[in-house]
Structure 1
Amino acid sequence: MYQPAEDSFLICDAVAKLKNLNNKKILEMGSGSGVIAEALINNHVDEKNLTLVDINLEAIKNLKQKFPKSKVVRSDLFKKIHGKFDLIIFNPPYLPTDKKEDKESKLATAGGKIGSEIINRFLKQANTYLEKNGKIILLTSSLTKRIDWQDYEKKILEEKKIFFEELVVWELTKY
């Protein structure tokens, strides 16, 4: 399970600034420890309106315990997701795969050979699950190469330079 770090906190900063979320249906992909879900609840989101998704069984057990009123789903991206959402949030694994990294750690941090494979799968599928006028909040890194933005209009919500990379939180909408 991914432990919160600078990227998680940057998304939390962006989420804290979002307005009118109280009656919105929200999906958080890759919920991990639940730190972003907590930021949403602190921003007046009703826990019942949250769908929390992760591929990691340990994360799922933790999320069910921490957020008993939320829908918690173990899924590889959208495979087991039904319905549409007003907001989809994703702090994806975005680093290029490191062959020395253990399997558990790779699930949380590695986005594929060049870092964008999981992001590109997500972007290709996400529009199907967005309500009309829905939005996506997505974090990327300057280390992630060749992101296929599909037909999304992009707006930067937050950015931060840390160590050897720049993190950006994007708001995406369909044209």
Structure 2
Amino acid sequence: MTTAGALMAAAAARLRAAGVPDPARDARLLLAHAASVDAGRVTLIAPEEVAPEIAERFERLVSLRAVRVPVSQLVGARAFYGRDFKVSRDVLDPRPETETLIELALGAPFARVLDLGIGSGCILVTLLAERKEATGLGIDLSEGACLQASANAMVHGVAARADIRQSDWFDAVEGRFDLIVSNPPYLAADEMADVAPELRDHEPRIALTDGADGLSAYRTIAAEAQGYLTATGRVLVEIGWQQGDAVQEIFRRAGWGDVHLAHDLGGRARVVRAANPA
């Protein structure tokens, strides 16, 4: 039998050779999942021998990670804003940069929120979990994404306050909202060849790119969202780090007021905020 430490070292070397970023971390997370232990305890079991069935499970996980299947899909979850969200190939991984949108959203009161392109549900579910009196509607073109978001709403105890529907943007949306949020597909078609294999090959293409210039979703939101917003409501949209000027211009040309750009902790343009004109 082989020790946990030896297995992790061999796996890290294999993942490094495959070009996987941070291979030691991934080896540790995958072994924790295979052994059903907390990731923080993996180093404690490093000197221990690993049972054959765990070693075999770990080998399968490492093989999949070596062909760039995301760790979150292999373990079935990804942490976001202090909560674990279930993920699958039907949705994008929740990512730390999206927490910038969450912080901005929580910076002002809201009673009713609309999430356009709900995906895993990480945005809507987090906002409802943080604001216990709020209700929300989440829409997505993908039925699989709607099912995944519904599951996460159940896990985090907000399902009774979250209405999740399959919809092509505003088609199934009714009523008005204090807050409209979206992390839409913003990669241009010609950018897809350069993205990481984890995204390009294993996450839903329709959630990554509009197949055009990466700005189509913003044009739709800017053109239609005012009809669904309360008089004092606001829109927050996540953007690609080079899209700040273009997205702000789209909203200004559509007649929005108070259009501003916010940056993430890394200093990159991340969210455009807009409100109804005064």
- Normalised by the length of structure 1, the TM-score is 0.82
The letter for the 1-side match of 2:263 is E
Gaps of 5+ in 2: 1-90, 154-158, 194-199
The letter for the 1-side match of 2:138 is L
Q: CA–CA distance in 1 between the matches of 2:121 and 2:202?
A: 21
Matched, 1:82 2:174: yes
Q: Secondary structure at 1:141's aligned position in 2?
A: coil
More relative contact order in 1 or in 2 (CA 8 Å, sep 6+)? 1
Greater strand proportion = 1
State the shift of 1:102 in Å. 6.2
Q: CA–CA distance in 2 between the matches of 1:12 and 1:159?
A: 13
Q: CA–CA distance in 2 between the matches of 1:25 and 1:3?
A: 25
The letter for the 2-side match of 1:122 is I
Q: Secondary structure at 2:260's aligned position in 1?
A: strand
Matched, 1:60 2:146: yes
Q: CA–CA distance in 1 between the matches of 2:185 and 2:97?
A: 10
- Counterpart position of 1:155: 260
Q: CA–CA distance in 2 between the matches of 1:28 and 1:126?
A: 11
Matched, 1:19 2:108: yes
Structure 1 residues 42 and 31: alpha-carbon distance in aligned structure 2, compared to 1, 3 A threshold: same
Aligned residue pairs total 168
State the shift of 1:160 in Å. 2.6
Q: CA–CA distance in 2 between the matches of 1:25 and 1:136?
A: 12
Matched, 1:169 2:256: no
Matched, 1:128 2:232: no
State the shift of 1:42 in Å. 3.5
State the shift of 1:39 in Å. 2.4
- Counterpart position of 1:10: 100
Q: CA–CA distance in 1 between the matches of 2:133 and 2:201?
A: 36
- Counterpart position of 2:39: none
For residues 120-143 of structure 1, give each alpha carbon's deviation from its aligned partner in whole angstroms, at most 9, with x where no partner exists.
112111111111121111112233
Q: Secondary structure at 1:2's aligned position in 2?
A: coil
- Counterpart position of 1:139: 238
Structure 1 residues 19 and 174: alpha-carbon distance in aligned structure 2, compared to 1, 3 A threshold: closer
CA contact (8 A) 1:95 1:109 kept: yes
- Max radius of gyration: which structure? 2
State the shift of 1:72 in Å. 0.6
Matched, 1:39 2:132: no
For residues 45-85 of structure 1, give each alpha carbon's deviation from its aligned partner in whole angstroms, at most 9, with x where no partner exists.
436x1111111111111222332211111111101111111
Greater helix proportion = 2
Q: CA–CA distance in 2 between the matches of 1:73 and 1:122?
A: 17
- Normalised by the length of structure 2, the TM-score is 0.54
Q: CA–CA distance in 2 between the matches of 1:15 and 1:71?
A: 19
State the shift of 1:104 in Å. 6.1
Q: CA–CA distance in 2 between the matches of 1:56 and 1:104?
A: 13
